[in-house]
A and B are shown apart, each in its own frame.
Chain A
Amino acid sequence: MHAFAELLDRLVLTPQRNAKIKLMADYFRSAPDPDRGYALASLAGTLTLSTVKPQLLKQLVLERMDEVLFQYSYDYVGDLAETISLVWEPAGDGTLEPIDLSLGAIVRKLQSASRADVHGVVRTLLDQLDGSSRFAFLKLITGGMRIGVSARLVKQALADMGGVDVVEIETLWHGLEPPYLDLFRWLEGKSEKPSLSMPAVFHSVMLATPLAESDVAALDPADFAAEWKWDGIRVQFANLAGTRRLYSRSGDDISGAFPDILDAATFEGIIDGELLVGGTMRSNRATRSFSDLQQRLNRKTVTRKMLEEYPAFIRGYDLLFAGEEDIRGRNFVERRERLEAVIDASPPDRFDLSPLVPFSSWEELDSLRRAPPDPVIEGIMLKRLDSPYTAGRMKGPWFKWKRDPYNVDAVLMYAQRGHGKRSSYYSDFTFGVWTDKDGADALVPVGKAYFGFTDAELEILDRYVRENTIERFGPVRSLRAEPDHGFVVEVAFEGINFSTRHKSGVAMRFPRIARLRQDKLPREADRLETLTAMIAAPEPP
């Protein structure tokens, strides 16, 4: 546990990407199995432990400690897990029965503990771990590492460790499980590359990088196919050897909520596509919006009524496996031909093909992008004709060329403190626009944003919050927001829809604070009518 704790301590404070990779690769080289496998899982987010509630931890610490002293400490440190790891005084005097404190042993102990045992297990471990390990342990069981390491970065460290390409790791990834013994054996050259036993497992998807204006000049239109980027969710559908699975882009199994699609499949293989609701092109009915699709998302099961009202289908982008044959190494043109054949033979109400967009110059494509033929289109995808299907996001083979974001000027209304390294800053903002209320102008909240600004801008926002609070509701501060006194921000967002869940009647997608507009007075901010007008408009103003 100690080595893992030291790794976490270093990762938290190391800003450089390459240094992080080095720290992780060195750890994977030196730590034993299965510890390193569980460490890998916790960093990559694949470790499943039933988490322990903060309340329980607080109870444990107060068994031994004066509440006032604990409160002084918590106020000073700010983070509950860190406070407890620091104030914990082991009971006893070296007479504790020693237990196995390796990461692997701790994970197994937690996994096998019953709900009633958890209390005691956590207390015993806190008693025996050293300070740094206590912190790592508490982070592990409260389920939030927040150490600035993405799964992708961890895989890069594995690739460095074994001297292999990160694509190989991505390709294998979803067929493997903690504690990843086969993976490490292979990376250390002690065995062959693990083979995937079940073909219907999720295969990491190929992702596109955003197309920058500066990229365009260097690219030849003749090398690329273009297709629409549909505004649903990216999925992978596998039907092999009697197993049918629908996976989200990140590999979550969402089969349970989509029996309509699962039952309809007639082909064997794995396709990559967009999950949408409404009519397919082949049925000549309209594809419906993302907010309609949302009715079907994040559900474990689905009712008959939902199935009728929001029929789901897959719009095919790519074919990874034709039957059991892995065709990811073939080029886009070949895969596309095989995909067309597969879709052609499938039920027309559940599967269709994302059409290619013919074009001869970037200018032509740009004007098509600005005026897409369907409101459910959010941009254009560019795919190199000679590109194989490679897992992960690499620059070059695939680009996404999105519609420009929408923008509105809004007024900050409420602020809440952030988490982690932002715990001392007010960094989560609710913003609003003007609307008519009983004949007078009033602000109505239309969204929340907690990123988009720079660190320097955050300082400005934080100061504004502290100096202009008019009321507090628990952690939330209500801010001064009047026509002539308030803070205007330019909010950028990807889309907007009607919503019955929000007071304003609208919901934004992916809102972020694009610019601080200290040059504007709140009275100059936008009105709700401007936002509702955007919903019908296919093109942002």
Chain B
Amino acid sequence: MKPEALLYSTPRGLYCERGDFYIDPVQPVERALITHGHADHARSGHAKVLATRETLDIMAIRYGETFCGEAQSIALGERLSINGVTVSFYPAGHVLGSAQIRVEAEGTRIVVSGDYKRRRDPTCAGFEPVPCDVFITEATFGLPVFHHPDDKDEIAKLLTSLRQFPERTHLVGAYALGKAQRVIALLREAGYHEPIFIHGALAKLCTYYQECGIPLGDLRPATIEGGDRQSFAGQIVIGPPAAFADRWARRFPDPLAIFASGWMLVRQRAKQRGVELPMIISDHCDWPELLATITEIAPSQVWVTHGREEALVRWCELQGIPARPLHLVGYEDEGD
């Protein structure tokens, strides 16, 4: 069958009419397949949800146990039939539990990548290329400017700064799901074993990662005990980026603003946000990785979604690969 008939975009999200289910819908629906736990992809209020065990756990942590009517977990690689449409999940390398979803019917195979990356990440399973006819790729960093550096060098920048400015609190902004844990794990790999202080919004998710067997070392709440502000001098404090503009950040002595994000590659971006030390660490593909992935999977068509569709579509055209933007609404990049 024609791929456009198997999956198409609707105001509620990407819809499979034959199987009567949505993938990462932005509004409550009867049946939803969820790629990963970031809030713009995983919303509460669906009747039925199908996702990996970890994604379901993360949704329960974020929204409470009653986040949906009926939750069903699916193992990676397991094939399941929904109204005659076969669905299967494969690792996407984005955050813990993240998956690509393959949808098949009458010999037509579409892979919805969700958000994905190709770099090694100590906190989740690596991306697996899956053969398909249509590859739906994200394009968060879909511009030739994006070349993410080695994350080891970015972590080294933070450690150097700690030595240079031992009197300042190193305040790291990192998204609560995925990025924060990855930064912590990378710091541990780099030999940093001091306690790391975390904002309350990170606590449950960090505990969950540790329960899943991902060691994060000594984590402590970033609260002032006994009113000694100075105890944070020279320490690493990690919190969600939004908390930095908050009064919360004022409790720390002479804070040095750091932000771990792929956007930090562009200096003006960092400057506009008042970031002093940008750490270019992304949970998405950079431009060369997007191109390499499309080349490797070699689908007969590419559909491009959330991000900078036009550049990636242009590149596909130059390569002779049929491509079109898939205008999905409602996705911000929580986990960039």
Contact yes or no, B271 A22, CB < 8 A: no
In the complex, per-residue mask of B49-86: 1 if CB is within 8 Å of any chain A CB, else 0: 00000000000000000000000000000000000000
In this assembly, does B268 line the interface, its C-beta being within 8 Å of a C-beta of chain A? yes
Residue pair A26, B164 in contact (C-beta under 8 Å)? yes
Q: Check: A65 CB closer than 8 A to any chain B CB.
A: yes
Is B318 a contact partner of A66 (Cβ separation < 8 A)?
A: yes
A76–B143 Cα gap in the complex (Å)?
9
> Given B145, B275, B277, which contacts A73 in the complex, CB threshold below 8 Å?
B145
Known: A77-B266, A421-B268. A10 touches B277 (CB 8 A): yes
> Does A423 sit at the interface, judged by CB under 8 A?
yes
Whether B310 and A77, one on each chain, are in contact in the complex, defined by CB atoms closer than 8 angstroms, is no
Question: B288 to chain A: which residues have CB within 8 Å?
Answer: 89
One of A9, A14, A68, A76 near B145 (C-beta < 8 A): A76
Decide if B310 touches A131 in the complex (CB within 8 Å). Answer: no
- Does A87 lie within 8 Å of B144, measured CB to CB? yes
User: Would you call A12 and B164 a contact (CB within 8 A)?
Assistant: no
Instruction: Tell me the bound Cα distance from A465 to B64 in angstroms.
Output: 48
- A386 interfacial by beta-carbon distance below 8 Å: no
**Assembled-state Cα–Cα distance A427/B95 (Å):** 42
CB neighbors of B among A55-78 (8 A): 65-66, 68-70, 72-73, 76-78
Which residues of B have CB within 8 Å of A10? 276-277
Q: Which residue of A lies closest to B318 (CB)?
A: A66
A82 to B270, CA, bound (A): 13
CA–CA, A14 and B276, complex, Å: 5
Complex contacts, A23 vs chain B, CB 8 Å: 164
Q: Which B295-317 residues sit within 8 Å CB-CB of chain A?
A: 308, 310-311, 314-315
Contact of B143 among A6, A72, A132, A421 (CB under 8 A): A72
Nearest CB in chain B to that of A423: its residue: B268
Q: Which residue from A22, A65, A89, A421 sits with its C-beta under 8 Å from B164? A: A22
Q: Which residues of A contact B143 (CB under 8 A)?
A: 69, 72-73, 76
Binary B-proximity of A1-45 (CB < 8 A = 1, otherwise 0):
000001001101111000100110010000000000000000000
B124 within 8 Å of A (CB atoms): no
A66 touches B314 (CB 8 A): yes
Cα distance A82–B147 in the bound complex, in angstroms: 13
Bound-state CA distance A130–B315 (Å) is 24
List A residues 80-131 near B (Cβ within 8 Å). 82-83, 86-87, 89, 130-131
Interface SS of A by simple majority? helix
Q: How far is the CA of A540 from the CA of B311 in the complex (A)?
A: 58
A73, B144: Cβ atoms under 8 Å? yes
The verdict on A69 contacting B315 (CB below 8 Å), with A15-B276, A86-B146, A87-B144 known, is: yes
Q: Cβ of A79 < 8 Å from any Cβ of B?
A: yes
Q: Give the B interface residue count (CB, 8 A).
A: 26
Distance between A72 CB and nearest chain B CB, rounded to angstroms = 5
Give min CB distance, A30 to chain B, whole Å: 11
A172 to B266 CA separation, bound complex (whole angstroms): 39
> Across the interface, do A13 and B311 meet the contact criterion of CB distance under 8 Å?
no
Residue from the set B267, B278, B311 with the largest chain A CB neighbour count within 10 Å: B267
Beta-carbon nearest neighbor of B275 in chain A:
A13
Q: Considering the chains assembled together, what is the distance between the CA atoms of A77 and B145 in angstroms?
A: 8
Nearest residue (CB) in B for A131 is B147
Q: Are B308 and A72 in contact (CB under 8 A)?
A: yes
Given contacts A22-B165, A66-B314, A421-B271, is CB(A86)–CB(B277) below 8 Å? no
Chain B residues within an 8 Å CB radius of A421: 268, 271
CA distance A77 to B308 in the complex (A): 13
Does residue B131 face the partner (Cβ distance < 8 Å to A)? no
> In whole angstroms, how far apart are the Cα atoms of A336 and B215 in the complex?
74
- The answer to whether A19 touches B165 (Cβ under 8 A) is yes
- Of A66, A78, A86, A130, the residue contacting B265 (CB under 8 A) is A86
CB of A131 to closest CB in B, whole Å: 6
Within 8 Å CB of B157, what residues of A? Answer: 6
Residues from chain A with a CB closer than 8 A to the CB of B144 are 65, 69-70, 72-73, 86-87, 89
B149 near A: Cβ within 8 Å? yes
Q: Are B276 and A83 in contact (CB under 8 A)?
A: no
Residues of A within 8 A of B266 (CB): 76-77, 82, 86
Docked pose: A79 CA to B277 CA in angstroms: 20
A19 to B270, CA, bound (A): 17
Q: Which residue of A lies closest to B265 (CB)?
A: A86
Chain A, 125-173, CB within 8 A of any chain B CB: 130-132, 135
- Chain B residues with Cβ under 8 A from A15's Cβ? 276
Q: Is the CB of A13 within 8 A of B271?
A: yes
Contact B147 A13 (CB under 8 A): no
**Closest residue of chain B to A70, judged by CB?**
B144
What is the minimal beta-carbon distance from A84 to any residue of chain B, in angstroms? Answer: 10
Q: Tell me how far the C-beta of A95 lies from the nearest C-beta in chain B, rounded to whole angstroms.
A: 18
A14 to B265, CA, bound (A): 16
Question: What is the chain B residue whose CB lies nearest that of A84?
Answer: B145
How far is B231's CA from A378's CA once the two chains are assembled, in angstroms?
A: 54
Also in contact, A86 and B276, with CB within 8 A (given A69-B314, A72-B311): no
What's the least CB distance linking A16 to chain B, in Å?
A: 9
Q: Please, which residues of chain A bring their CB within 8 A of the CB of B278?
A: 13
Q: Which chain B residue lies CB-closest to A421? A: B271
- Chain B residues 131 to 170 lying within 8 A of chain A, measured CB to CB, are 143-147, 149, 157, 164-165
Q: Which residues of A contact B (CB under 8 A)?
A: 6, 9-10, 12-15, 19, 22-23, 26, 65-66, 68-70, 72-73, 76-79, 82-83, 86-87, 89, 130-132, 135, 421, 423-424
Known pairs A12-B271, A23-B164 / 8 extra A-B pairs, C-beta < 8 Å: A19-B165, A22-B165, A69-B143, A69-B144, A72-B310, A76-B145, A77-B268, A135-B267
Of the A-B pairs whose beta carbons lie under 8 Å apart in the complex, a sample of 26, sorted by A's number, is A6-B157, A9-B267, A10-B277, A13-B271, A13-B275, A13-B276, A13-B277, A14-B276, A66-B315, A66-B318, A69-B143, A69-B315, A73-B143, A73-B144, A73-B311, A76-B266, A77-B266, A77-B268, A86-B146, A86-B266, A87-B145, A132-B149, A135-B267, A421-B268, A421-B271, A424-B268
**6 A-B pairs with the lowest CB-CB distances in the bound complex, closest first:** A86-B145, A87-B144, A73-B145, A72-B311, A13-B276, A73-B144
